[in-house]
Structure 1
Amino acid sequence: MGFVRIVPRQGTFVADYKTQSTPQMLLSLMTHGAEDANAELFASMMETRRLLETECARLVTEKASDEEIQKLSALLDEMRNTREPAQFSAANFRFHRAMLAASGNIVYAMIFQSFEQVVLYYVTSYFTTPERISLSIVQHEQLMEALKTRNALLAKTEIERIMEEGISNLTRMFSPKEIQAKAPPKFRA
């Protein structure tokens, strides 16, 4: 996969996003790449999300204000109060976005926000059954308890459990498609 790079008086070239990346390329991949992600890009996005969320769960236990913890609790209530997949997925994203914001690291929160369309695409595809939604609520309740008690080790364990559940199931769900094929993703401008 490549991006078109125009150099005045020299020509138009294809720039490989792996070796000649720019913030604009990353943003384009995050906003347009979900449906067309290949296995390598999908795995990279999931590893990045896992890294961000694990670190931020730890940081929340150290840095979040009581008000930020209360906001997370209210967002968990939103998750509990909806069973419609699209609404649940949106509430789930808001919870995770608020958790990253409560970490105190503005850049982590900004990176996660750039994943919004990708995350919503995948989690909406995943949260299609009452069982998956119920399991997610239980897992988030356990995470919330760790955050409230400011237990960094338990928060890390719980967010890792959430990430593993979601990522392993999404990998299985999307394996028949381009995700497991090594075909490059299609770029849409």
Structure 2
Amino acid sequence: MEFSRLNAPSLKELFIEHLEKMILSGKLVIGEKLPSERELAESMHISRSVVNAGLAEIADKGFLEIIPRSGTYVADYHKKGKLDTLVSIMKFNGGTLPDADILSILQIRKVLTALALDLAMPRITDDEVKQLFKHSALLDKTNDSTRAAELVFEFDHLLCGFSGNTLLPLIFYSFKAPNTTLFERFFRLYGFDAMRRRTDALCHAIRARDLVTAKEVLARSIEETISGSTRIYR
């Protein structure tokens, strides 16, 4: 049996993880001013260059606001964060998300996939439909929740690509980490049959160019995960 090589995190990565945990746990509150870079470096026994680079990266995620000639302050990451912020929140929560964030992701997914169908249906080719059926067939064959989550995400991402809107697949892909995490949770809780039926029904509706049915299938599937029999948050 072969074992993969272990890579220790760098000091910068450890510094970032430590500060993010302090912010997400509430030990550092919104609006609080951090000590100077020199003070942080001395108290944590790391170089100022590590502190400087780490603070810049944390600020880029929306956790901090660096104000020239004033200092570094804890920011309201719900207002100034981005997708990297969401990944940090997931990491802090052991790979999961708070219920409010799960609901928000499902609502966004519902909007994006509905838009993808609206735009793709008038222009989708037979070859593109075959690609969707191929992914549906692969989903039928797997019993691995991680692989199944990837396939479902790839299916929906393909659909976004077939829309002809150049930004839609980019926006959808930016949500890959939280989406695949939710899909894995779905498969662990409810198995594979429900999502297989959803994907198969969607493929047949798209092949028939039946926009109404396709949107109903997608909307019903997502609504079930929000408040129905396959709900994936409390």
In the superposition, the TM-score normalised over structure 1's length comes to 0.79
Supply the distance in 2 between the matched residues of 1:91 and 1:163 (Cα, whole angstroms): 17
2:150 is aligned with 1:94: no
**112-121 or 64-73, larger mean C-alpha shift:** 64-73
2:219 is aligned with 1:160: yes
What is the alpha-carbon root mean square deviation over aligned residues? Answer: 2.3
TM-aligned CA distance change 1:81 to 1:140, over 3 Å: same
2:8 is aligned with 1:8: no
**Aligned AA (2:89):** G
Supply the distance in 2 between the matched residues of 1:125 and 1:13 (Cα, whole angstroms): 35
Q: Which runs of at least 4 in structure 1 moved beyond 6 Å after TM superposition?
A: none
2:173 is aligned with 1:116: no
**Aligned AA (2:149):** S
Q: CA deviation at 1:42?
A: 2.4
Residue deviations 1:2-38 (CA, integer Å, cap 9, x gap): 611112211112222344x2xxx21213433344533
Counterpart mapping for 1:45-60 below 5 A = 45-60=105-120
Supply the distance in 2 between the matched residues of 1:145 and 1:154 (Cα, whole angstroms): 10
**C-alpha contact 2:121 2:209 (8 A) present in aligned 1:** yes
Aligned length: 170
Aligned twin of 1:138: 197
**C-alpha contact 2:117 2:211 (8 A) present in aligned 1:** yes
Which of residues 140, 147, 150 in structure 1 aligns to 2:206? 147
Q: Percent identity of the aligned residues?
A: 24
In the superposition, the TM-score normalised over structure 2's length comes to 0.65
Supply the distance in 1 between the matched residues of 2:156 and 2:188 (Cα, whole angstroms): 19
**C-alpha contact 2:145 2:188 (8 A) present in aligned 1:** yes
Aligned twin of 1:33: 89
Query: Secondary structure, in 3 states, of the residue corresponding to 1:68?
Result: helix
Q: CA deviation at 1:109?
A: 1.1
Q: CA deviation at 1:170?
A: 9.6
**Higher normalized contact order (CA 8 Å, seq sep 6+, divided by chain length):** 1
Supply the distance in 2 between the matched residues of 1:94 and 1:141 (Cα, whole angstroms): 14
**60-69 or 26-35, larger mean C-alpha shift:** 26-35
Q: CA deviation at 1:172?
A: 4.5
* Structure 1, unpaired ranges of 5+: 176-189
**7-16 or 162-171, larger mean C-alpha shift:** 162-171
